[in-house]
Amino acid sequence: MEQEPRLKIAVQKSGRLTENSLHLLETCGLTYSRGRDQLICFGENMPVDVLLVRDDDIPQLLAEGVCDLGIVGLNVHLEKSDPEAGVRKALDMDFGRCRLSIAVPRGEPWNGPASLSGRRIATTYPNILGRWLDEQGIEASVVTLSGAVEIAPRLGRADVICDLVSTGSTLAANDLEETMVVLESQAALLAAPQAHSAWAQRMISRIEGVLRVRGSKYIMLHAPRAALEEIRDLLPGSEAPTLMPLEGLEDKVAVHAVCSETVFWETLESLKGAGATSILVLPVEKMLA
C-alpha cells in the first residue's frame, strides 16, 4: 500500500515568528515530537512535519518543492520570492507586525521622498526598496548589507537607512529618526506551486479557521421578541444570530451569535438595558465556515 505523502511546513527556526507559528499549528490540532537541537518536528497525529529553517530560506524552499507551506514575514516574501516561481500568499496572519521604514540621522531635514534623491540608502531589502524608489521616481544609491543596517550612517557607509521597525527603540539608540513607511508587514502563510494535496488544503482551512475567530466571542442570551431588532444591532461584528424558542416562554427566544469584535462590559450593559437576560460570553477557539 502506497504511503501517504507527508506535508511539510517551513517555520522560522528562531526569531519573532517562531513561537506564534508553532502555537498556531498546535491550535490546528498538530502534535509533534521534537528532539533537542532537532530541525524537523515530526507530526504524530497527522502526516504533517514542521521544518525549522532560516526565514530567508523559506521562499526558496517553497519554490523548489522542498516544502509545501511556509510561515514567514510578508517583507521576506516580497524580498526573496521569485515572481515567476509560483509561490503564493495563501493567508495573512495576525502576528509579527512590523514596518519597513526610511530613517535618517536625528535632526536632519526631511521633505518627503525627494530628500532621498542622490543619497546612499543602506538596507537588507534592496528589492523592495528598489521597487519603491522606482514608484516614487527617485534616483538613489542602494547599499545592500546583511545586517547592522542602523550603524551604517555612523560608519560612513550610507546617508540614511531603510530597515524593519517594531518599536523604534533600535533607531533611537542609534540616533536615527523614522520618517516614512515603505511597507507594512506581518506574518503570512505561503503556499508552494504544488501545494494542492488534501492535507495542504486542510491545513490552510484550519489555520484560516483559527485566525478568523481570534478575539471573537460566542454570546448566548435570552431576549424578548419585541426587542430582537435592537439587540441584533447591539451585537458587535456578528452576522445573523441564531434564534431558538424557549420552553414555556412565548414572548422570549434564545439568541446565539459569534461576535468578531471585542465585547466590552458596555456592550453587555447595553444588551441588558435592551431587555436581554441570562447573558453568557464564551471564548471561541476555532471555527470552520
pLDDT in tens, 134-181: 999 999 999 999 989 999 999 999 999 999 998 889 999 999 999 999
Beta-strand relationship, 160-165 and 88-92 = unpaired
pLDDT in tens, 218-277: 999 999 999 999 998 898 877 788 999 999 898 999 999 988 777 788 889 999 999 999
* CATH number at 98-185: 3.40.190.10
Instruction: Report whether pLDDT(41) > 70.
Output: yes
Q: In the chain, where are the structural domains located?
A: 7-95+187-213, 98-185, 217-283
Residue 218 has φ and ψ, to the nearest 5°, of -105, 120
Maximum pairwise Cα distance, the chain: 81
- Is residue 179 within 8 A of residue 163, CB to CB? The reply is no
Instruction: Report whether pLDDT(4) > 80.
Output: no
- Is residue 201 within 8 A of residue 7, CB to CB? The reply is no
Nearest alpha carbon to residue 10 among 35, 36, 39: 39
pLDDT the model gives residue 58:
97
| CATH superfamily to which 7-95+187-213 belongs | Periplasmic binding protein-like II (3.40.190.10)
Q: Which helix (H) or strand (E) holds 281?
A: strand 277-283
pLDDT the model gives residue 235:
87
pLDDT the model gives residue 219:
92
Euclidean distance between CA atoms 127 and 130, whole angstroms = 5
pLDDT in tens, 47-96: 999 999 999 999 999 999 999 999 999 999 999 999 889 999 999 998 99
Euclidean distance between CA atoms 120 and 145, whole angstroms = 12
pLDDT the model gives residue 3:
65
pTM for the full predicted model: 0.80
Instruction: Report whether pLDDT(210) > 80.
Output: yes
For the record, the C-alpha cell of 31 comes out as 502534535
pLDDT the model gives residue 1:
41
Indicate if 217-283 has the same CATH topology as 98-185: no
Q: Quick one: CATH architecture of 217-283?
A: 2-Layer Sandwich (3.30)
